[in-house]
Amino acid sequence: MRRRHALAVLIILSCGALTAAAQTCTLSFTGMSFGTYNGAVLNGTATGTVRCAGSWDIPLDAGTGVGATETTRYMTGPNGAELAYQVFQDAARTINWGNTTTTEVSGTGNATVTAYGQIAAGQYVVPGTYTDTLHTATTSITVTATVLKDCGVSATNLVFGNYTGAVNNTTSTVTVTCTNTTTYTVGLSAGLATGATVTTRKMQNGAYLLSYALYSNAGRTTNWGNTAATNWVSGTGTGVAQPLTVYGQIAAAQYVTPGSYTDTITATVTY
């Protein structure tokens, strides 16, 4: 079951003074709120207002995250966990906004400027609220995001090859990637054949059936099913991919009609 939580957005509006020759200039910025992040690419913006009669430029530092640079910034979350993001000058998010002469944003007169933020996909960090503070010469931008619990799953095919009536064993890998510290369970369905169960699955060749079983241990004694607290496989996310082996077996002495037999199993991750 996926859970979604609403984000309480933090917005800071602050002003500062920029100096352009003998002219006093002011700058203010809204906060950059990314909203909720669930592992997919997420964009955010912050809007700046410049009031100035002359020319101006706006440098943007690396922020307060540990190890942050002007090209890879970090919001900080629970227990010091970090969520990487970037800030760009353009809506296409290709031109970095930094703190050097070649990466500052510059202009003349009154203007509105936009900082374009982006959180890259595939960061399975600890769920919670993440923040950072970016500084210009005279003001700051508060950056916020909320990371939700999230899991992704993929699987390789389970290929038995030729069956000759003897016991036939093979394996497949289900790979689960969950946000760090997120507990999860993985269930495997009974398959598509009529009358199949999670303890006696059946591959099909037209109207003909070939029974097989799926296990969670190499000894092939622990059935892998789809029932909570009974035969699911459980784990805790680490933020990186975790491979889980599925152990398949076709029992001996099934003298079925020769041909190609197939089935489809659905892996369900609950967190």
Residue 258 has pLDDT above 50, yes or no: yes
Q: Which of the four pLDDT bands, split at 50, 70 and 90, describes residue 23?
A: low
Which pLDDT score is estimated for 101? 86
Give yes or no for residue 19 having a pLDDT over 90: no
- Check pLDDT > 70 for residue 7: no
Q: What is the rounded average pLDDT for all residues in the chain?
A: 91
Mean pLDDT of 187-198: 96
Q: Please tell me the distance from the alpha carbon of residue 92 to that of residue 120, in angstroms, as a whole number.
A: 14
Q: How far apart are CA 50 and CA 110, in angstroms?
A: 5
What are the pLDDT digits (tens) for 46-57?
A: 999 999 999 999
Q: What is the pLDDT of residue 248?
A: 98
Asked if pLDDT for residue 61 goes beyond 80, the answer is yes
Matching fold, domains 14-147 and 151-270: yes
List, in sequence order, every residue forming a beta bridge with 96; answer none if it has no partner: 88
To the question of domain 151-270 being in CATH 2.60.40.1090, the answer is yes
Domain boundaries, the chain: 14-147, 151-270
pLDDT of 260-270, one tens digit each? 999 999 999 99
d(CA 53, CA 191): 71
Q: Give the tens place of pLDDT for each residue, 124-160.
A: 999 999 999 999 999 999 999 999 999 999 999 999 9
Q: Give the DSSP letter string of 6-55.
A: --------EEEEEEETTEEEEEEE--EEEEEESSS-EEEEEEEEEE-SSE
What pTM value is reported for the model? 0.81
Mean pLDDT highest for which of 4-18, 20-34, 93-107? 93-107
pLDDT of residue 56: 95
Section 34-45 average pLDDT? 97
pLDDT at residue 16, as a whole number: 31
Per-residue pLDDT, averaged over 67-88, amounts to 98
| pLDDT per residue as tens digits for the range 227-255 | 987 899 999 999 999 999 999 999 999 99
Top CATH class of 14-147 equals mainly beta
How far is residue 207's CA from residue 204's CA, in Å, rounded to a whole number?
7
| Tokens standing for residue 146 | 């909320």
CB neighbours of 148 closer than 8 A, spacing ≥ 6? 3, 4, 5, 36, 37, 38, 127, 179
Give the per-residue pLDDT at 10.
24
Average pLDDT estimate for 33-43: 97
Q: What residues are paired with 127 via a beta bridge?
A: none
